[in-house]
Amino acid sequence: MRKRAHKISFDTFLENATALSLSDLPNTWNQTVLFGNDAPLELEIGSGRGLFITQAATATPHHHFLGIEISKKYAAHCAALIAQNLLSNAVMVCADAHIVLKNYLPDESLTAVHIYFPDPWWKRRHRKRRIVCEPVIELVHQRLVVGGKLHFWTDVEEYFLAGLKSIATVSGFDRLSEVSENTDYDFGYRTHFERRTLGHSETVYRSLFVKNK
Ligand SMILES: C[S@@+](CC[C@H](N)C(=O)[O-])C[C@H]1O[C@@H](n2cnc3c(N)ncnc32)[C@H](O)[C@@H]1O
């Protein structure tokens, strides 16, 4: 009689996979320590349920993907998804992305930065917590290589416009017209929030920038 293949459940991955913490990151940046080799590095800020990082790491095996997620629960979820998909080119870190950008990543170390549906922090007094703001975009600019890409999508028009303003203030980015709020993607969705937004027939405000100097 043929033995039935034992399928490992996602819950088992969730029990065993853990995201890294800041203390696991090399003080002097060393990608080989994290990934075992060197390759172009893409950063995702706020990975949520991990759909983007898993899809992107699967589709682009010759790049490395670093996901930063501040919530322990979601960082663990992402790490489990990465383990379940046997992805050796993706690493999850549970931390504040601002700190990772500021203190761990060196200049010109990133080939792309992905920010999808960042928390909008609706209350005016909380707005300073928004990740898409001038000081963070300044750091993103420094950490990207020339020609590196910044992807910023949201479902909140006001945040989108404020974000575009911050990006425009930090000189050294060109906006690429191939991605906008009017772009229709035929590959479906990239992230959990995008799926939700499209499911409600709401607009996704998308932008793509390239570092020009
Ligand atoms: C609205 S969710 C979007 C998740 C995912 N990008 C998506 O599109 O489905 C925003 C995520 O960013 C995370 N986050 C918020 N502030 C962060 C920060 N400073 N550093 C890293 N992650 C952060 C939140 O915990 C949350 O999972």
DSSP state letters, 122-163: -SGGGGGG-SSSHHHHHHHHHHEEEEEEEEEEES-HHHHHHH
pLDDT of residue 4: 64
Q: Which is the catalytic residue, given 11, 38, 107, 119?
A: 119
Location of structure tokens 């995201």: 19
**Rounded-to-integer distance, Cα 100 and Cα 110, Å:** 12
pLDDT of residue 178: 76
**Rounded-to-integer distance, Cα 176 and Cα 173, Å:** 9
Residues near ligand 1 (Cβ within 6 A): 45-46, 48-49, 68-71, 74, 96-98, 116-119, 131, 191-194
At residue 185's C-alpha, the angle toward residues 182 and 187, to 5°, is 170
How deeply is 111 buried, as exposed, middle or buried, from its count of CB atoms within 10 A (0-12, 13-18, 19+)? middle
List of the chain residues with pLDDT < 50: none
| Amino acid type, 63 | H
Q: Measured from the CA of 74, which atom of ligand 1 is nearest?
A: 27
Q: Measured from the CA of 68, which atom of ligand 1 is nearest?
A: 21
Task: Collapse the DSSP code of 179 into the 3-class scheme (helix H, G, I; strand E, B; otherwise coil) and give the result.
Answer: coil
Candidate of 49, 54, 69, 96 to mutate for ligand 1, largest count of ligand atoms within 8 Å of Cβ? 69
Count of positions (residues) in the chain? 213
pLDDT of residue 96: 97
The architecture that CATH gives domain 36-211 is: 3-Layer(aba) Sandwich (3.40)
Helices and strands in the chain: count of H runs, count of E runs: 8, 7
Cβ atoms < 10 Å from Cβ of 40: 15
If you measure from the C-alpha of residue 164 to the centroid of ligand 1, how many angstroms do you get, rounded to a whole number?
19
pLDDT of residue 199: 84
Residues forming beta bridges with residue 110, ordered by sequence position? 144
Is 96 annotated as catalytic?
A: no
If you measure from the C-alpha of residue 100 to the centroid of ligand 1, how many angstroms do you get, rounded to a whole number?
14
**Rounded-to-integer distance, Cα 131 and Cα 88, Å:** 28
Q: Measured from the CA of 115, which atom of ligand 1 is nearest?
A: 6
180-210 pLDDT, tens digit per residue, is: 776 665 556 789 999 888 888 888 999 999 9
If you measure from the C-alpha of residue 129 to the centroid of ligand 1, how many angstroms do you get, rounded to a whole number?
12
Of 198, 126, 207, the residue nearest 163 (C-alpha):
207
If you measure from the C-alpha of residue 2 to the centroid of ligand 1, how many angstroms do you get, rounded to a whole number?
45
pLDDT of residue 5: 63
Residues 6+ apart with CB under 8 A from 75: 19, 47, 67, 69, 92, 93, 94
Q: Which residue minimizes the CA distance to atom 25 of ligand 1? A: 71
